Amino acid sequence: MTKKKAIVLLSGGLDSSTVLYYALDRGYAVQALVFDYGQRHRKEIMAARAVARAAGASLEVVKISLPWKGSSLLDLKTHVPVSGVKKGGIPSTYVPARNIIFLSFAASFAEAVGARVIFIGANALDYSGYPDCRPAFFKAFQKALDQGLKAGVEHHGVRIETPLLKLSKAQIIALGLRLGVPYEKTWSCYQGGAQPCGVCDSCRLRAKGFTEIYAG
């Protein structure tokens, strides 16, 4: 029996790696899609390769350019915030329209290879306040895909799946541990150093999740 195809947006971080294993656990033939978009933390691309290799999933790396920058993840002249996760604001690590760009590439890839599902590890609970990680965004983008793809017009469209959207970081880690995600191979830090900085938003959220897991 031929497996159903799915595209998984894989950054090499904790959330996207969990989603990769989640999709595989549900019997999908996965194509992992990784973006090299000039991010300062390019080490995550190496992590994505390692995670995909461990999972036995095929991987496609797409190099794109965002020369206008607009984010501390892209502009080395700006600093990544290290003062802690603050609710109610959008941090400088927000990359303008990143999920719109990534999902558009994924939708094109999915339609070209006959995949019906795109998995993305977005999270709306323990996150840094990015507007393109909210449920309302994914609902709106799904409508755009339904109207803008040949597959959508022919009523066998591409569906966006966000299984981690309403989970806490600890719940995500617990799920990943059950699925066998090799978290030691993942990379979450926004800095481009040899070791995680431990103080950027992403490092803090990761540490919070593991602390809650092992404290409970």
Domain boundaries, the chain: 5-215
pLDDT for 151: 86
pLDDT for 126: 66
Per DSSP bridges, beta strands 58-63 and 5-9 are: unpaired
Please give, one letter per residue, the 3-state secondary structure of 140-197. Answer: HHHHHHHHHCHHHHCCCCCEEECCCCCCCHHHHHHHHHHHCCCHHHCCCCCCCCCCCC
Return d(Cα 114, Cα 200) in angstroms, integer.
Answer: 38
Residues of the chain with pLDDT under 70: 1, 85-88, 126-128, 216
Return d(Cα 91, Cα 74) in angstroms, integer.
Answer: 13
Residues 153, 156, 157, 162, CA torsion sign: positive
Class of domain 5-215: alpha beta
Question: How far from 155 is each of 3, 44, 85, 128, 144, CA to CA, in Å?
Answer: 20, 36, 41, 35, 14
pLDDT for 127: 67
- Look up the pTM and report it: 0.95
